[in-house]
Amino acid sequence: MAGNYPGTGGPARGSEIPPVSYLQWYIPRLKENRKHNLSFSGLQFPWELEGIENVWKDHRGPGIDERELISKMYGVSVDNVHLCMGATQGIALAISAASRGGKVAVEMPSYGPVSQTARILGLETVAVHRITTSTAWVIDRDEWSLVLESVDLLMVTPQLNPVGWSFTEEDRNWLVSECKRKDVRIISDEVYSRADNSWRPMFTEGDNCITISSLTKVHGLGVIRYGWIIADESIIANVANSFHNMEGMMSSPTIRIVEHIKNRLHEPVELIEHYREKNLPVLISALERLGIEWTPPPHGVFGAFRIPGVNTIEMIDTIGKEHSLLAVPGIMFGPGLEEWLRIGWSIDPVSFAEAVSVLELVIRTALDIT
């Protein structure tokens, strides 16, 4: 592990298993219950659910296929779908099902499990990077082309954490072409994609492409751990074998809760757009007053910007704590992001405006010190 961001390298066992440093940093600070919380990576949706009939009873029975909700959502056969206990488990299942034993390229910046799980499964990983431009975060094509020559699996998060930018259309087309030509399978963690109406799931690009998603980030249902994998039937058969070995079966309460609310899944997506409309102008205005240039990503619930000369971990742990502010340092996701800060805008506009006012004070204080 180099610094606070995810680490690449060889297979990891025992004490060599890399921590998710972001969570080790974040969870204790979340428990402090700081008043102004801009740290959320997913939508805070006000779900109110009444009692669900037979929630604890076995959901399985004749004529019932728990995969149908997702197969209808994506317009694919149930044989191309496997459910899992959230996207994090889906990452491990997809790697175990799609790997042919070679090295794994992992995208940086990234959330730790996306880039570290392969090592726990006994595979070597090597990093590839997306880099910032004035308008987007783009693939470093020279680096990726070289690395893709020596791997057989690639892990990506198209809606990039912590900055929120999706692949450009040009990068997506180039990547799909390169991976097909070099026989590299792509595992795409698309937990934020439902907030982007223009996004086409990666599995649509061919049999070498796998989509993972869940109801956690966009729909605000992380506590029930409901995720899915969509891929070619032969890979899904491997996923099923891995799932039965590691998990057994899906939880009946989870399935019943999702079936209960399936006709309301559009509501969180609509709320995301409302929050973007109300909250983004408030953040943009604050950053302009601070002299910080920033172009927000066109979709999603968070973004990140650079505060020149300011170490954002130190800022949040000192000045931020003093003013009861919590936001996420960019260095938790990749090298070179020491001066970056991730802000989530998935909260009600009144709370967001109050928090941004405190954020502006904290940043101005940090800039004055530096």
Do 136 and 219 lie in one domain? The reply is: yes
| Domain co-membership, 89 together with 222 | yes
Same domain for 88 and 99?
Answer: yes
Terminal-to-terminal C-alpha distance of the chain: 28
Distances (CA, A) of 12 to 92, 124, 257: 14, 9, 36
In the chain, the number of structural domains is: 2
Q: Give residues with Cβ within 8 angstroms of 225, minimum separation 6.
A: 85, 86, 89, 214, 251, 254
Evaluate if residue 274 carries a pLDDT over 50.
Answer: yes
| One domain for residues 83 and 221 | yes
Cα–Cα distance, 201 to 189 (Å, whole number): 10
Q: Mark whether 277 and 364 lie in a shared domain.
A: yes
> Same domain, yes or no, for 279 and 235?
no
> In this structure, are 275 and 292 located in the same domain?
yes
Residue 334: phi, psi to the nearest 5? 175, 160
Token output for 12: 């990891």
What CATH number is attached to the domain comprising 205? 3.40.640.10
Q: Answer positive or negative: Cα dihedral of 151, 155, 160, 162.
A: negative
CB contact at 8 A, 214 and 254? no
The answer to whether residues 329 and 219 belong to one domain is no
Instruction: Quickly state the pLDDT bin for 49 (edges 50, 70, 90).
Output: confident
SS3 content of the chain, % helix, strand, coil (to 5): 45, 15, 40
Query: What confidence tens digit (pLDDT) does each residue in 171-193 have?
Result: 999 999 999 999 999 999 999 99
Q: Is residue 7 part of a domain?
A: no
Mean per-residue pLDDT, 2-13: 89
Residue 186 lies in a domain: yes
CA distance 234 to 232: 6
End residue of a domain, out of 237, 263, 289: 263
* pTM: predicted TM-score of the whole model, two decimal places: 0.96
Of the two residues 197 and 268, the one the predictor is more confident about is 268
- Could you tell me if residue 59 is inside a domain? no
- If asked whether residues 280 and 213 sit together in one domain, one would say no
Q: Given a cut of 90, is residue 204 above it in pLDDT?
A: yes
> Of 263, 286, 314, which residue is a domain's last?
263
Return the pLDDT at 50.
Answer: 86
Q: What is the pLDDT of residue 2?
A: 52
* Cβ partners under 8 Å of residue 139, min gap 6: 128, 130, 167, 171, 174, 175
User: Would 22 be classed as within a structural domain?
Assistant: yes
pLDDT bin (cut points 50, 70, 90) of residue 61 is confident
Q: Give the per-residue pLDDT at 1.
A: 38
Query: 6 lies in a domain?
Result: no
My answer on whether 199 and 175 are in the same domain is yes
Tens of pLDDT, residue by residue over 67-112, are 999 999 999 999 999 999 999 999 999 999 999 999 999 999 999 9
Residue that is last in its domain, among 263, 283, 312:
263
Containing structural domain, residue 28: 14-45+266-369
Same-domain pairing of 233 and 86? yes
Give Cα separations from 5 to 1, 39, 113, 140, 331 (angstroms). Answer: 7, 17, 11, 19, 6
What mean pLDDT is predicted for residues 7-20? 95
SS (H, E, C) 312-344: HHHHHHHHHHHCCEECEEHHHCCCCCCCEEEEE
User: Residues 190, 310: one domain?
Assistant: no
